[in-house]
Amino acid sequence: MNRRLLLLAPFGVALVAGGGFLAMLRREQAGTFDPRGVPSMLIDRPVPPFSLPGLASSDLRGRPVLVNFFASWCVPCVEEAPVLMDLRRAGVPLYGIAYKDKPEATDAFLSRHGDPYARLARDLPGRVAIDWGLTGVPETYLIDRDGIVRWRWVGPLTPEAVTAELQPLLRRYA
């Protein structure tokens, strides 16, 4: 009896592990799980104090805004540009922070792909971005009227992410 149980144990372990991996894969395909994702430390915390040419942390109060880190050298930012333009047309206040980007290059990028930003800041050394815990561009943050970070999206914003995640949050914090 015991011996048979011991023989079955490896199969049991394999079954449980296989089930776990399958669940991870499913969630990864559904986009609800990213094994490489770095969780943001800013969620439900105030924006780190900063002052950049074009934008300071004190400007992020009074109404909910989206802050989008981008760069002209960033390919996913091109992919994201139409989604941001749609947000602008929908009247969502969007502030841009150009990450490690030459001003001329940023300006050329915006005239080519459209300028969705109500305000534009430049973080040439990329130092403010580190205070935000930025891992790459593009990244988008939702700041509520009290200057508290409520949401972060890593990588290009997709229309699906906007309808499924951003719009409900914008309604909640409006």
Partner 1 sequence: MRGVLALVLWLLLAGPAFAISDPAEALPDPAQEARAVAIGQQLRCLVCQNESIEDSGADLARDLRRIVRQQVAAGRSNREVIAWLVARYGNFVRLRPPFETGTLLLWGSPVLALAAGGGAVLLARRNRPAPPPPLSAAERDRLRQLLDRT
Interface positions with partner 1 (CB under 8 A): 2-3, 6, 36, 38-41, 100, 125-127, 130-136
Q: How far is the CB of 58 from partner 1 (least distance, A)?
A: 20
Q: How far is the CB of 152 from partner 1 (least distance, A)?
A: 12
Q: How far is the CB of 88 from partner 1 (least distance, A)?
A: 28
**Nearer CB in complex with partner 1: 127/145:** 127
Q: CA-to-CA distance for 62 and 138, rounded, in angstroms?
A: 25
**Nearer CB in complex with partner 1: 115/123:** 123
Q: How far is the CB of 1 from partner 1 (least distance, A)?
A: 10
Q: Residue 167, class by beta-carbon neighbours within 10 Å (0-12 exposed, 13-18 middle, 19+ buried)?
A: middle
**Nearer CB in complex with partner 1: 48/82:** 48
Residue 153 gets the label, from left (phi > 0), alpha (psi -120 to 50) or beta, of beta
Q: CA-to-CA distance for 91 and 76, rounded, in angstroms?
A: 23
**Nearer CB in complex with partner 1: 132/153:** 132
- In sequence order, what are the residues at sequence separation of 6 or more whose Cβ sits closer than 8 angstroms to the Cβ of residue 20? none
Q: CA-to-CA distance for 77 and 105, rounded, in angstroms?
A: 13
Q: How far is the CB of 108 from partner 1 (least distance, A)?
A: 21
> What dihedral angle (degrees, nearest 10) is formed by the CA atoms of 161, 146, 50, 81?
20
**Nearer CB in complex with partner 1: 2/32:** 2
The two tokens of residue 77 are 């930012």
